[in-house]
Chain A
């Protein structure tokens, strides 16, 4: 770890005022990890973990979740479990209980990729060091993305929570020097393109203060399915958050987001539209999944993810629709 200055913000205003050029410290489960291996090297660390931003409440037709609410607190919150079960399931499928107790919503939104090369200073990585090259590309790609990749970076987005939030069309509230604004979760994470080092649409010194999850009939039907190499404590090979609303034997509305396969949480509007008005059957869902995976760019080790993601999506959609599998 390199030497850095440590400061603690007394309130949100102070955090924003002195946030430029600093790394916000919340649970630290990701930031400190990466600092220890000298992948992230902030000169200033600004501790925001004690700010009064941990509230979770159902208000104005939405779950309002403070950025510092712990992953555990959100997952186990009665309103969350009732009104957005898919979010609770996604959180509980991530990491381990100890990590979830420490990890916050804000930190989870901005957690970095688990690409093994990104974390290994002995290899080349465009995300870590712009234009140095990408050793993953021709290397071990089992955990990498097949959607949204560029010829600069194929790192998979790691978060489970973000996938659920995307299917729930959450808004991320941020405060910066220029005031407050809301970012749709789908626009928070950037595609790697030519600049994989640019990961988020946040502006300098912008602090995430909370997340707003609209609650409706669809959210109440949300479900999360995660496929991984062991039963717990592993990142997704493929995952899917789905929400399907059926009326009179036909799908009225449906959304699904994929995890583990994209460089960011992945949704395809056309795939979702394809289900509208159709019966909630395996065929309907399989077709939607097929559309969602169009344009996938598989590599040697992750080619299986194309088929796996489709099956995962079908499973999540079936569960959400309450269809017998």
Chain B
């Protein structure tokens, strides 16, 4: 009963998922359902002049083809519902703004027939000039404020005099780093199922945030939010792309309304590339300098990332440099360029993953230039307080992470200079990097109910995107109420439940756990006041919100990543033979699920370092790597030893009432840099543009 928190309970949804019992959004049994398949544009930019759907409509089972010319007008329009909401393309006008944009939807009585019908639709359009090349638009790069789960922050920041420090520096590194556009590919593609009953809409949607979806749909159809119900019981991976309600969600609701029947739409794998975001490309320039004792005296991190013509998403890649190391002179700048592409979005550790690749590579370069061990160099520049704002950290166990990780990895045995260390004909190298991610927390609510039979039901309108929310919240409730874990059921994923934030920015565990604790504490008080076992259900609501106190601190999780690689000296193939990550992230709610989260992030780090790249055909403005044969993520053979370790309880009374820092994203941060640094150690070659493919090492 006590000490439930932290125990390695297996995932409560695990069995249902592996046996196929789990009902995902697309599979919700609804009688009379119609299947929609999007028709997407081949052109990157243009105006639709005609849509010929005659052939498609003649096919058996086809009900309709909705196009900009016959789709109903949305009563509330297609504009975003708030600043965090994305601009969508929902058959309301004739504009083509990027390749693969939805331009029509074919509706039929089976999925196969809808898919075939969609392929028969012919779209005529007048082509307009476009570019998907960052270089073409760099001249028009503009500063843009940063919006993250932690709120809004300025694009630029300057402390001290970076220029002067660089000028007098004895040791410096000035280098350009690049990360390519990448695309999320959760196994479950985006899917939504829309059912109308009069002016009430129910959506079963594969989303990370049901309340955001409700808000958007209520706005589009000019309904009070209460008329829209969103249900999400299982999500087959989100990683950020399911953080927003994209075009297909509105189109499904629109088609269902117009046709007077329930409609569901799932994106095909190729449709994942462009319509529903992706990590934007970045170009980052780092200028870093140290004095002869190895103290960082200047750090400048300038980053440019891409967004669409019609919406602003910024990858805050230079944020990491505002917090990572002690330095008197720090400057960071964020710029955006507009291209004729679909709007990018949050992708696991947006900013911190791409930004840490640049910063942590540059730090490695500087340590090498100084002839100092990379850990020693980082320790010399350890930030005891936030380097820009001077605030104390609510908790920071990075030193311990370096120690634990180095010991586990065997860092002491490393040779510093890149030398040709051969093992079975392969060059072997090691590298490390710092990992860090903000400890986000926001308002959330939950309700707890004690039943007369002693069972407990706790509910919150959060979602479980695979991280283990169902499981850990039951643990938190059991411990807070002092009842056995088995007696507690935690339910989620319904807008009829108390509101919880979108599952993004590693925010759910911290926020919802705090709300669950609050609800359970309130319930405990009620029960204690009653004195005896209740004869009817007793409920209590818990609501939490960030305190003023929190603002006085810098709040982050930290970690250290260590990589060992083998590189074929002639053929350039890289294999990450070992990855060790040591993390400190507040109180760990479930040791087994936490390990999975860290591990998943680290594996993605291998993909970021070596594989992932959404390759554009610049002439067509189209992503050509649109399936999982061409868009590479690590295969089993690419993942050899991935070994995350963590501090079970990093005490933190400030971060949030539950003392939890999110762990969904930190695992990827620093990983690509550690691998790149190991490749340098093995080969003497510094690859500054990801992914590190064989051709770059020839």
Interface residues of A (CB under 8 A from B): 1-2, 38, 96, 114, 116-117, 119-123, 135, 138-140, 142-143, 225, 227-235, 237, 304, 307-308, 311-312, 314-315, 325
| Structural contact, A123 and B610, CB atoms closer than 8 A | no
Q: How far is the CB of B180 from chain A (nearest CB, A)?
A: 13
| Residue B632 interfacial (CB < 8 Å) | yes
| Structural contact, B694 and A135, CB atoms closer than 8 A | no
Q: How far is the CB of A223 from chain B (nearest CB, A)?
A: 14
A42 to B425 Cα, complex, angstroms: 49
| Structural contact, B694 and A308, CB atoms closer than 8 A | yes
| Structural contact, B571 and A230, CB atoms closer than 8 A | no
| Structural contact, A140 and B624, CB atoms closer than 8 A | yes
A274 to B619 Cα, complex, angstroms: 42
Interface residues of B (CB under 8 A from A): 42, 99, 112, 115-116, 119, 270, 425, 570-573, 575, 610-611, 615-620, 622, 624-627, 629-630, 632, 634-638, 693-695, 698
The 9 closest A-B pairs by CB, nearest first: A122-B42, A231-B637, A304-B695, A232-B637, A139-B617, A232-B635, A116-B624, A233-B635, A311-B570
> Which residues on the B side are within 8 Å of A308 (C-beta)?
571-572, 694-695, 698
Chain B residue with minimal CB distance to A303? B695
> Which residues on the B side are within 8 Å of A119 (C-beta)?
627
A229-B632 contact in complex given A122-B622, A304-B698, A308-B694, C-beta closer than 8 Å: yes
Pick the most buried of A120, A138, A325: most chain B CB atoms within 10 A of its CB: A120
A307 to B697 Cα, complex, angstroms: 12
A117 to B624 Cα, complex, angstroms: 8
> Which residues on the A side are within 8 Å of B42 (C-beta)?
122-123
Can you give 18 contacting A-B residue pairs, CB < 8 Å? Answer: A1-B112, A96-B635, A114-B630, A120-B270, A122-B622, A135-B619, A139-B617, A139-B624, A228-B694, A229-B610, A230-B638, A231-B575, A235-B629, A304-B695, A308-B572, A311-B570, A312-B571, A314-B570
Option from B119, B637, B693 in Cβ contact (under 8 Å) with A38: B119
A237 to B638 Cα, complex, angstroms: 17
Option from B116, B618, B632 in Cβ contact (under 8 Å) with A230: B632
| Structural contact, B570 and A2, CB atoms closer than 8 A | no
| Structural contact, A231 and B635, CB atoms closer than 8 A | yes
> Which residues on the B side are within 8 Å of A314 (C-beta)?
570
Q: How far is the CB of B424 from chain A (nearest CB, A)?
A: 11
Q: How far is the CB of A25 from chain B (nearest CB, A)?
A: 18
Q: How far is the CB of B93 from chain A (nearest CB, A)?
A: 21
A315-B570 contact in complex given A2-B116, A116-B625, C-beta closer than 8 Å: yes
Option from B112, B573, B619 in Cβ contact (under 8 Å) with A228: B573
A140 to B632 Cα, complex, angstroms: 16
> Which residues on the B side are within 8 Å of A117 (C-beta)?
624
> Which residues on the A side are within 8 Å of B635 (C-beta)?
96, 230-234
Q: How far is the CB of B423 from chain A (nearest CB, A)?
A: 14
| Structural contact, B698 and A307, CB atoms closer than 8 A | yes
| Structural contact, A135 and B571, CB atoms closer than 8 A | no
> Which residues on the A side are within 8 Å of B571 (C-beta)?
225, 227, 308, 311-312, 315
A116 to B620 Cα, complex, angstroms: 13
A116 to B628 Cα, complex, angstroms: 12
A312 to B573 Cα, complex, angstroms: 11
| Structural contact, B615 and A140, CB atoms closer than 8 A | yes
A25 to B575 Cα, complex, angstroms: 37
Chain A residue with minimal CB distance to B691? A229
> Which residues on the A side are within 8 Å of B694 (C-beta)?
227-229, 237, 308
Q: How far is the CB of B545 from chain A (nearest CB, A)?
A: 45
> Which residues on the B side are within 8 Å of A139 (C-beta)?
617-620, 624
> Which residues on the B side are within 8 Å of A229 (C-beta)?
610-611, 632, 693-694
| Structural contact, B638 and A232, CB atoms closer than 8 A | yes
| Structural contact, A120 and B119, CB atoms closer than 8 A | no
Q: How far is the CB of A217 from chain B (nearest CB, A)?
A: 26
Q: How far is the CB of A260 from chain B (nearest CB, A)?
A: 11
| Structural contact, A230 and B615, CB atoms closer than 8 A | no
Q: How far is the CB of A177 from chain B (nearest CB, A)?
A: 33
A230 to B619 Cα, complex, angstroms: 27
Chain A residue with minimal CB distance to B268? A37
| Structural contact, A237 and B624, CB atoms closer than 8 A | no
> Which residues on the B side are within 8 Å of A232 (C-beta)?
635-638
6 further interface pairs, Cβ-Cβ under 8 Å (given A122-B99, A231-B573, A304-B698): A38-B116, A140-B616, A140-B617, A230-B611, A230-B634, A311-B698
| Structural contact, B619 and A234, CB atoms closer than 8 A | no
A182 to B270 Cα, complex, angstroms: 40
> Which residues on the A side are within 8 Å of B99 (C-beta)?
122
Chain B residue with minimal CB distance to A117? B624
